[in-house]
Structure 1
Amino acid sequence: MQIEPDILANAAKLITLCKANGEMIATAESCTGGLIAGGLTAVDGSSSVVDCGFVTYSNEAKHGLIGVAQELLDKHGAVSEQVAIAMAEGALARAPLATMAIAVTGIAGPGGGSEEKPVGLVHLACAGNGHPALHRRRIYDGDRHAVRKATILEAYDMLSEMAGKSK
């Protein structure tokens, strides 16, 4: 499978940083459907940095696989800060070797948006052992591909920020 050059380059930089800092990554992905982990594992040497990934597209998967509280899903909806943070923390807790986890949940489009939660809205969260979770709310322009690509690159940026805190 062909991974876009900028995704591959950013993934390689992240892997180098994580190796230097002794970090292991877990992913919890909804709107990207596993593409964050896919970009990472396309890089040689990723096995020393990537622990596991959860694709939790449905609310049932978010709840059952990574422990997102049903009350959070009911109250805030899947595309929310609260759920993104719970996804990251849940993935970190369930990943045997991970020292940090990234989670993304959003509306990639072209349908599914609303006035309150438009197409392109993505919540990203990064949890790390011993560090407060990072959260970013973004509204990306473009089609489904553009939203997902921007999310992947932002996720790598957040993981790099978290990895940099350990040293």
Structure 2
Amino acid sequence: MRDANGFDEFYRDTSARMLRYGYALTGDLAEAQDVVQEAYTRAWRRWARVSGHPAPEAWLRLTVARLSTDRWRRLSGWRAAVRRAGPPEPVGPPSEDAVVVTAALRRLPAPLRQAVALHYLFDLPVADIAAETGAPVGTVTSRLHRGRTELAAILAPARTPEVHDVE
């Protein structure tokens, strides 16, 4: 059985140092957090052995260093592939229609916006949306209908009087 209290104490005593060490190795806080978290996960899984190690913190430092090196190697391969492929094409600004539709979607209540986005942006059928959101199928159908209706009202151009409308 694992000694949870012993591990907790070990974590409290070493976590700040390990994060600084991970940051020094990776140069990126998010990467350091990921590497250190993985190292502590491995230590917890092997806590009976690690806690009996003559220097548990050294074991953890070695694990952090190896994980950092593995990530660096993976990133090096990715960087080489990007260099071979060249820089990505510049992305232009969003179209006027995209800006208008996005602004209209933001005006919808969250449940309607979610249903519309899942259905029209991800092409999910109603049953899948119901399963993902936890809402009944009828509710999803209603949200889609209401969402389309509200979007149509928001997106409809302001009616300007035509020449034949004026008497």
TM-score strictly above 0.5:
no
TM-score (norm 1): 0.25
Q: Which structure carries more strand by proportion? A: 1
Larger relative helix fraction: 2
TM-score, normalization: structure 2?
Answer: 0.25
